[in-house]
A and B are shown apart, each in its own frame.
Chain A
Amino acid sequence: METGRDIVLELDHLTIKFGGLVAVNDFSLRIEKGELVGLIGPNGAGKTTVFNIVTGQYEPTQGSVLLEGKDITGWRPHLIAAAGIARTFQNVRLFTGLTVLDNVLVSQHLRLKSHFLSAALCLPSYSNEEQRARANAMELLERLELVPYARELAGNLPYGQQRRLEIARALATCPKLLLLDEPAAGMNPEETARLMRFICKIRDEFDLTIFLIEHDMKLVMGICERIRVIDYGISIAEGAPDEIKKDPRVIAAYLGEGGE
């Protein structure tokens, strides 16, 4: 088996069954470093389930997940996050009772070196580490233009900023691979356009590989280099945006079988 230096994520024949329902069936995919890959499909096609398998929320019935050649199938989600996969959620899941800054700081917890006791006693070694973490977090907020909100409760932010904060929080884990689950959900065309530029920007600036789910075709066709289409858990097409647009199977999946 080749380990492929440039392959960041490799999904190998993933299948997951919930009782009798096969949510994802024999799903394979390779994502190379720096790629921006889109996953589309009608509602209930199993897109988020794929994400949940990759991030360790679900354990696949069959198949394996490889991150940079390392098998991470069945790892606990926090270990997968530490290994370098971060995600956002379809419905925003921020820590609403924490400030914007604290939300980003939570993602740095996995890199904390100080022992629990030195934190409990507020020893200088811990204080220094805390200060560095805060500086990092502020720098990240600065780059994502969230500084004005730093001390606000995350739950009080406007919707668009909440989505942006979710991405910031994911970036704070220093991921190699970022999974975005419908980042444009609930956004108007203007906001979506801004989001598209934002996604491209963070990919370049943070040296990321991005795998995203989206319903907004303009966004997907606009920024993804490669698109995978699934329906009822089965991959039905893959290719560049232009190929996907014309693919009869994709059109059939979205619009229903024609000609009856």
Chain B
Amino acid sequence: MGKYFYSVCKKHLNTLLTLIFVGFLFLVLRWADTHLDEFTLRIMRTGAVYIVAAVSYDLINGITGQFSLGPNGFMALGGYTVALLMLPLPQKAFVWFLQPQAWPFNSFSFPVTWYFFGLALVLSGVMGALGAFIVGIPSFRLRGDYLAIATFGFGEIIFVLANNLIPLTNGPLGMKGIPELANVYWCFGWAVIATLVVKNIANSSYGRAMKAVRDDEVAAEAMGVNVFRTKMLAFVVSGFFAGVAGGLLVPLITTISPTLFTFTMTFNLLIIIVLGGLGSITGSVITAFGFAIASELLRAVESPMQIGTIRIPGIAGMRMVVFAALLVLLMIFYRQGIFGQSELSWEWILSLPGKVVDKEVAKKWKRDETSS
């Protein structure tokens, strides 16, 4: 019996450890939710949303090797979906004061409950996936970097539409007073789901096909990989989670306007996945969370400073200069990112104590060898 239990444990060790980790994360979140201040919690939630967006972006850019510049567009689709579904009707009447809101959103909203919010999030993911599907079909028919151009264009189209379709989006004024539904559990819950799903895909046969397409499209095709379908799968899944990330971000900051999802968003995500190592999911997770913290810490850069006798006035947007410089330096000196293409796995963590021992054993052997 004990032996059987041991063998089951060993076989499913990774799953077990992941479950323990998720449980532990839940306890930490429960503690944080009651003990930490609103400001810290907000950074944590933003970090979790970035994880969802970055992991999904890494699936298409890092794992499948298709250079997409589209996550801002898909996030916008998701964000507007959730905003339109969750904004209570009285608030809608209040927000659309210049022009009346268009049907059907002027006549219905989801009740502000957690299960309807969950449904709205799934729908926002579906919208993101749909967007990816529509952009993917023409772009992947062609070989080459058309995806970058098409997705960049798509993001811009969404931006222009959001600005001008006033009956639907309220234009540049956006919407405010969206119920603050995206608490830590929602944000981290989706971060865990996105990470696990993308990790499962990446380690599966489908993931291998994606990596094969990244490494050599011609060879992948010759070995029976349906290149078009593989790229579409990666892109649609990526679009789904980008949509969810957008849908989480909006009820986190409680407002939405077109400027929330400009190209800067994609640029930030690009920094995150490159810094984490293109193709490394755990790398993206860690840098995404780190990025959220860093962008708060770097607010200091934007405040007025006194260096000696020189007084520097606060420059808004200085953080982005820092991040841009970081990306340039990264590209020159550290192209691999933190993790390269490797993952932080349970095997690796468990082998850490062993590695120290191994090194000593190896040293001893070397000594014996040289002395004999």
Binding site for B on A (CB under 8 A): 55, 57, 76-78, 81-82, 86-87, 89, 93-98, 102, 105-110, 112, 114, 116, 119-122, 126, 129-130, 133, 169-170, 172-173
Give CA–CA (A122, B18) in the complex, Å. 13
Give the A-B pair count, Cβ closer than 8 A. Answer: 101
Q: Which residues of B contact A129 (CB under 8 A)?
A: 205
Give CA–CA (A97, B211) in the complex, Å. 8
Q: Which residues of A contact B341 (CB under 8 A)?
A: 97
Q: In residues 209-225 of chain B, which contact A (Cβ within 8 Å)? A: 209, 211-212, 214-216, 218-225
Known: A95-B211, A95-B212, A98-B215. A112 touches B221 (CB 8 A): no
Q: Answer yes or no: B201 CB below 8 A from chain A CBs.
A: yes
* Distance of A163 from chain B, by nearest CB (Å): 14
Complex partner residue of A110 from B206, B214, B225, CB under 8 angstroms: B225
Known: A120-B201, A121-B197, A126-B204. A109 touches B219 (CB 8 A): no
Give CA–CA (A116, B206) in the complex, Å. 7
Q: Answer yes or no: B120 CB below 8 A from chain A CBs.
A: no
Complex partner residue of A98 from B204, B205, B211, CB under 8 angstroms: B211
Q: Answer yes or no: B227 CB below 8 A from chain A CBs.
A: yes
Known: A109-B225, A130-B204. A96 touches B233 (CB 8 A): no
Q: Which residues of A contact B221 (CB under 8 A)?
A: 76-78, 81
Give CA–CA (A81, B197) in the complex, Å. 29
Q: Can you identify 20 A-B contacts, CB atoms within 8 angstroms?
A: A55-B222, A76-B221, A76-B226, A78-B222, A81-B223, A89-B218, A89-B222, A95-B211, A96-B216, A97-B211, A98-B215, A102-B208, A102-B211, A109-B206, A109-B225, A116-B206, A119-B205, A120-B206, A126-B204, A173-B223
Q: Answer yes or no: B200 CB below 8 A from chain A CBs.
A: yes
Q: Which residues of A contact B212 (CB under 8 A)?
A: 95, 98, 106, 109
Known: A78-B227, A81-B224, A173-B224. A106 touches B200 (CB 8 A): no
Q: In residues 93-131 of chain B, which contact A (Cβ within 8 Å)? A: none
Q: Which residues of B contact A172 (CB under 8 A)?
A: 223
* Distance of A6 from chain B, by nearest CB (Å): 25
Q: Is the CB of B200 within 8 A of A86?
A: no
Q: Is the CB of B215 within 8 A of A78?
A: no
Give CA–CA (A121, B219) in the complex, Å. 28
Q: Is the CB of B208 within 8 A of A98?
A: yes
Q: Is the CB of B218 within 8 A of A93?
A: yes
Interface centre among B220, B222, B227, B341 (most CB of A within 10 A): B222
Give CA–CA (A204, B205) in the complex, Å. 29
Q: Answer yes or no: B237 CB below 8 A from chain A CBs.
A: yes
Q: Which residues of B contact A169 (CB under 8 A)?
A: 223
Chain B residue at minimum C-beta to C-beta distance from A82: B224
Binary interface encoding of chain B residues 217-260 relative to chain A, with 1 for a CB under 8 A from any of its CBs, else 0: 01111111111000001000100000000000000000000000
Q: Is the CB of B214 within 8 A of A106?
A: no
Chain B residue at minimum C-beta to C-beta distance from A107: B223
Q: What are the 6 A-B residue pairs with the smallest beta carbon separation, nearest first?
A: A110-B224, A81-B224, A119-B204, A95-B215, A93-B219, A77-B221
